[in-house]
């Protein structure tokens, strides 16, 4: 088992399913976890369960992110905070929704990386960043013009950050999950006319669980992945291999 003892790792989106599972995985392996999210009640519950330290901030505000992260001694980051936006194509998309999705998923993750990486560079101990992207950045999905675009931007942020931060021994990777069937995603992906053909096209033929995603995130943070940087790892049951 990987040992993160002595390493402080920030997880954004920790009040959500994947973020919460990631916090649990990291705490179980000795990490000092700082958990950020929009749902303070959810953060408090997670903190009581795991011992993680709650730190709420607004991913749409550089001032909020800077104020929260400046002065923290961080070794690692999981950028899991995000918003799904709407199901819409390029003709019917609401551009205000597009702007908000980009602001949270791409701009927010970049700002967290900006201020977290400054801390990691200052400490001179290396580190690792994992961005939670999506299969929607790797293949075109109907109705995902905003969400897919934001995650494609996040994948590029991953690659450029890996290029720029490698000299400080900081690795940067992304994971690109398929759908985790939660209450939030069920409104669309749970529709029979959507779910059936999608799963039929997926070699493994099932939705992911939060632990299916948290496990690879933990691996990419760990020393076992010490030579992996700049990759976008599909966790999609083989869907994007078609």
Q: How many residues in the chain?
A: 242
Say if strands 170-177 and 232-235 run parallel, antiparallel, or are unpaired: parallel
Distance between CA atoms of residues 16 and 37, nearest Å: 8
Is 168 catalytic? The answer is no
- Out of 115, 147, 168, 239, the active site residue is 147
CA dihedral 136→24→107→144, nearest 10 degrees, is 20
Tell me the three state secondary structure of residue 176.
Answer: strand
CA dihedral 157→30→36→132, nearest 10 degrees, is 30
Q: Which two tokens stand for residue 18?
A: 């994947």
User: Which positions are annotated as active-site residues?
Assistant: 147
């Amino acid at each position: 088992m990987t040992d993160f003892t002595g390493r402080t790792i920030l997880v954004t989106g920790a009040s959500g399913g994947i973020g919460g599972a990631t916090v649990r995985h990291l705490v179980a392996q000795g990490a000092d976890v700082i958990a950020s999210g929009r749902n303070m009640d959810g953060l408090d519950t997670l903190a009581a369960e795991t011992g993680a330290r709650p730190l709420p901030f607004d991913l749409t505000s550089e001032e909020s992110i800077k104020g929260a992260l400046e002065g923290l001694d961080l070794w690692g980051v999981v950028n899991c905070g995000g918003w799904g936006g709407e199901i819409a194509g390029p003709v019917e998309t609401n551009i205000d929704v597009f702007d908000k999705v980009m602001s949270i998923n791409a701009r927010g993750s970049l700002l967290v990386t900006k201020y977290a990486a400054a801390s990691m560079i200052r400490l001179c101990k290396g580190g690792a960043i994992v961005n939670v992207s999506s299969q929607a950045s790797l293949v075109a999905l109907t109705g995902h013009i905003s969400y897919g675009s934001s995650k494609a931007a996040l994948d590029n942020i991953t690659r450029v950050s890996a290029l720029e931060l490698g000299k400080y021994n900081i690795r940067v990777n992304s994971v690109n999950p398929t759908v985790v069937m939660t209450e939030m995603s069920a409104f669309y992906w749970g529709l029979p006319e959507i779910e059936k053909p999608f799963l039929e096209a997926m070699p493994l033929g099932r939705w992911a669980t939060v632990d299916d995603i948290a496990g690879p995130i933990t691996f990419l943070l760990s020393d076992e992945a010490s030579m992996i940087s700049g990759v976008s790892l599909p966790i999609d049951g083989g869907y994007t291999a078609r």
